[in-house]
Structure 1
Amino acid sequence: MHNQATNIQTSDNLSLLELINILEEHRNNIIINLKKLQEQYQRKSVKRVNGYRDENGKIITPWLRTEEIDCSEYVDMGSFKLNHNTATINMLISRKVKLVKVDDQTPVLEVAGLLVNDLNSFKNYMIVSDGKVNIKSLQVKISSKKTFDLLKTKGVLNGEKFDFQREYTIWLDNLPLVTPNQNLSNIGGLFEQLAEIKVLSSIISACLKDESDIFIPEQLQELRKHELSKNLYINFLTTNEYTDLKEALANDIINSRYSYKIDIGSKEILNLSKLHSANKFIDRMYRVYNSTSGEVYQKPSLSLALNEKIAFRHRLFSSRTKITKVDEFMKPIFDDFLGLENNGIVANILAKVGGDRLAQILQERRHGKSVSKEELVVAMFVANVKLKEFAEKIYRDRVCPLVFYIGSTGVLPNEMDSKAMTAEELATEYPHLQFSKDEQKGRFFIAGNSIISVSKKTEYYTPTRKSVNCSCSTN
Structure 2
Amino acid sequence: MTNNKISLVELIQIFAEYRNNIIVNIKHLQEHYQRTGIKRVKGVRNENGELLQPWLRTEYIDNAEYVEMGQFQFNRNTATINMLIKRKVKLAKFEDQTPTIEVAGLLVNDLNTFNNYTIVSDGKINVKSLQVKISSKKAFNLLKEKGILNAEEFNFRAEHTIYLDNLPLVAANSRYSSIDGLFNELAEIKVLTSIICAHLKKESDVFIEAQLDEFKKHYLSKNIYINFPTTNEYTDIHEALVNGTLDSRLSYKIDIGTQDILNLSKLHSANKFLDRMYRFYDKGTGEIIIKPSLAIAFNQNLAVRHRFLSSRTKITKVDELMKPIFDDFLGLEQNGIVVGILKKVGADSLAQLLQEKQAGKQISKEEMVAALTMANKKLEQYAENIYQEKISPLVFYIGSTGLLPDQMEAKAMTAKEVGAKYPNLQFSKNEQEGTFFAVGDSIISIYAKTEYYSKKVAILNHS
TM-score, L = length of structure 2 = 0.95
Q: Name 1:84's counterpart in structure 2.
A: 76
Where 2:255 maps in the other structure, the secondary structure is: strand
Residue 234 (structure 1) shift:
1.1
1:28-63 CA-partner distances (Å, limit 9, x unpaired): 222110011123211111001111122232222211
Counterparts of 2:14 and 2:339, CA distance in 1: 34
| Sequence identity (%) | 65
Residue 183 (structure 1) shift:
2.6
Q: Name 1:288's counterpart in structure 2.
A: 280
Q: Name 1:456's counterpart in structure 2.
A: 448
**Are 1:322 and 2:314 matched, yes or no?**
yes
Q: Name 2:355's counterpart in structure 1.
A: 363
C-alpha contact (below 8 Å) 2:44/2:229 kept by paired residues: yes
Counterparts of 1:233 and 1:135, CA distance in 2: 27
Q: Name 1:413's counterpart in structure 2.
A: 405
1:313-356 CA-partner distances (Å, limit 9, x unpaired): 11000111111111111111111111111111111111221111
Q: 1:30 aligns with which of 22, 46, 71?
A: 22
User: Residue 29 of structure 2 aligns to which amino acid in structure 1?
Assistant: L
Q: Name 2:9's counterpart in structure 1.
A: 17
Q: 1:260 aligns with which of 249, 252, 255?
A: 252
Q: Name 2:211's counterpart in structure 1.
A: 219
Counterparts of 1:448 and 1:91, CA distance in 2: 33
Counterparts of 1:205 and 1:148, CA distance in 2: 44
**Are 1:349 and 2:349 matched, yes or no?**
no
What root-mean-square deviation, in Å, do the aligned CA atoms of Structure 1 and Structure 2 show?
A: 2.0
TM-score, L = length of structure 1 = 0.92
Matches within 5 A, 1:73-222: 73-184=65-176, 186-222=178-214
1:417-460 CA-partner distances (Å, limit 9, x unpaired): 21211111222222221111100111111112111100000000
C-alpha contact (below 8 Å) 1:361/1:371 kept by paired residues: yes
C-alpha contact (below 8 Å) 2:82/2:116 kept by paired residues: yes
Counterparts of 1:394 and 1:109, CA distance in 2: 39
Matches within 5 A, 1:38-53: 38-53=30-45
Q: Name 1:4's counterpart in structure 2.
A: none
Counterparts of 2:339 and 2:110, CA distance in 1: 40
Task: Give aligned pairs, total.
Answer: 461
Counterparts of 1:107 and 1:351, CA distance in 2: 45
Misfit runs of 4+, over 4 Å: 8-11
Residue 10 (structure 1) shift:
5.7
| 5+ long unaligned stretches in structure 2 | none
Counterparts of 1:210 and 1:178, CA distance in 2: 44
- Sort the Cα spacing of 1:181 and 1:365 in 2 relative to 1 into closer, same or farther, 3 A: same
**Are 1:378 and 2:370 matched, yes or no?**
yes
Q: Name 1:250's counterpart in structure 2.
A: 242
Q: Name 1:393's counterpart in structure 2.
A: 385
C-alpha contact (below 8 Å) 2:32/2:457 kept by paired residues: no
Residue 307 (structure 1) shift:
3.5
Where 1:306 maps in the other structure, the secondary structure is: coil
**Are 1:426 and 2:418 matched, yes or no?**
yes
- Sort the Cα spacing of 1:332 and 1:132 in 2 relative to 1 into closer, same or farther, 3 A: same
- Sort the Cα spacing of 1:314 and 1:173 in 2 relative to 1 into closer, same or farther, 3 A: same
Where 1:288 maps in the other structure, the secondary structure is: strand
Q: Name 1:3's counterpart in structure 2.
A: none
User: Residue 357 of structure 1 aligns to which amino acid in structure 2?
Assistant: S
1:91-111 CA-partner distances (Å, limit 9, x unpaired): 112222221112333111111
C-alpha contact (below 8 Å) 2:33/2:457 kept by paired residues: no
Counterparts of 1:145 and 1:215, CA distance in 2: 45
Where 2:276 maps in the other structure, the secondary structure is: helix
Residue 306 (structure 1) shift:
3.0
C-alpha contact (below 8 Å) 2:249/2:452 kept by paired residues: yes
| 5+ long unaligned stretches in structure 1 | 1-6
C-alpha contact (below 8 Å) 1:10/1:156 kept by paired residues: no
Q: Name 2:64's counterpart in structure 1.
A: 72
- Sort the Cα spacing of 1:168 and 1:293 in 2 relative to 1 into closer, same or farther, 3 A: farther
Residue 66 (structure 1) shift:
1.4
User: Residue 235 of structure 1 aligns to which amino acid in structure 2?
Assistant: N
Counterparts of 1:157 and 1:344, CA distance in 2: 55
C-alpha contact (below 8 Å) 1:85/1:263 kept by paired residues: yes
Residue 370 (structure 1) shift:
1.6
- Sort the Cα spacing of 1:433 and 1:145 in 2 relative to 1 into closer, same or farther, 3 A: same
Range moving further from structure 2, 56-65 or 217-226: 56-65
Residue 298 (structure 1) shift:
0.8
Where 1:330 maps in the other structure, the secondary structure is: helix
**Are 1:441 and 2:433 matched, yes or no?**
yes
User: Residue 87 of structure 1 aligns to which amino acid in structure 2?
Assistant: A
Counterparts of 1:380 and 1:147, CA distance in 2: 41
Counterparts of 1:320 and 1:267, CA distance in 2: 24
User: Residue 45 of structure 1 aligns to which amino acid in structure 2?
Assistant: G
Residue 293 (structure 1) shift:
4.4
Range moving further from structure 2, 105-114 or 291-300: 291-300
User: Residue 313 of structure 1 aligns to which amino acid in structure 2?
Assistant: R
- Sort the Cα spacing of 1:449 and 1:133 in 2 relative to 1 into closer, same or farther, 3 A: same
User: Residue 80 of structure 1 aligns to which amino acid in structure 2?
Assistant: F
**Are 1:241 and 2:233 matched, yes or no?**
yes
Range moving further from structure 2, 177-186 or 216-225: 177-186
